[in-house]
Amino acid sequence: MALSSYPHSGYRYAYLGDLPGHVKALGSVHQIPVTIPANAITATLTFWLNITTAEANGAAYDFMEVNIRRIPDDSLIRRERVYSNLNSSITENVPGDYRRQSIDLLAYKGQSFTLQFYVDTDFSNATLFRIDGVSLLADGS
Ligand SMILES: [Ca+2]
């Protein structure tokens, strides 16, 4: 987590993607171990997302994936969501304009896995994927 400008709440948020003024091809990863209880009747991942980009020509070059990965070998179980620079319109390409995202993870009840936020950007025109307030709420029966 980085101490920087434009958090959604508090003072910190995960800062994934190119650094302003230091544009380069970059991969960055945040991984969170998760267990969904076997008796869960709901399991919802929510997070706040802010995407800003300098890409302008209408093609996808920079990506953020939300992945479910197997413990312990880290193999991919499922790619739940893919965002790109094209999705900067979600937050109108404005720094700090976070929008709530929600992913249903009830399909994984009774399982432990790694929740992964993975960013892969190319060498030009920075895209920033700011995520904040990641939570996973599960209700049991
Ligand atoms: Ca780029």
pLDDT of 44 reads 94
Distance in Å, CA 15 to ligand 1 centroid: 15
Residue 110 belongs to what domain range? 2-135
Q: How far is the CA of 18 from the centre of ligand 1 (A)?
A: 8
Distance 36 CA to ligand 1 centre (A): 35
List pLDDT tens digits, range 28-54: 778 889 999 999 999 999 999 999 999
Q: At residue 4, does pLDDT exceed 60? A: no
141 inside domain = no
The CA distances from residue 68 to 58, 61, 80, 89, 107, in Å, are: 28, 22, 7, 25, 11
Residue 115 has pLDDT above 80, yes or no: yes
Tell me: the pLDDT tens digits for 69-112?
A: 999 999 999 999 999 999 998 989 999 899 999 999 999 999 99
Banded model confidence at residue 113, pLDDT cuts 50, 70, 90: very high
How far apart are the CA of 141 and the centre of ligand 1, in A? 45
Residue 134 pLDDT: 86
How far, in Å, is the centroid of ligand 1 from the Cα of 29?
Answer: 17
Judge whether 47 lies within some domain: yes
Report residue 64's pLDDT band, with 50, 70 and 90 as the boundaries: very high
Residue 140 lies in a domain: no
Look at residue 99 and tell me if it is in a domain: yes
Domains held by the chain: number: 1
CATH number assigned to the domain comprising residue 55: 2.60.120
Mean pLDDT, range 113-122, rounded to an integer? 90
46 C-alpha to ligand 1 centroid (Å): 26
- For residues 52-61, b (16+ Cβ closer than 10 Å) or e, as one string? bbbbeeeeeb
Intra-chain end-to-end CA distance of the chain, in Å: 34
Which residues lie at CB < 5 A from ion ligand 1? Answer: 61-62, 121-122, 125
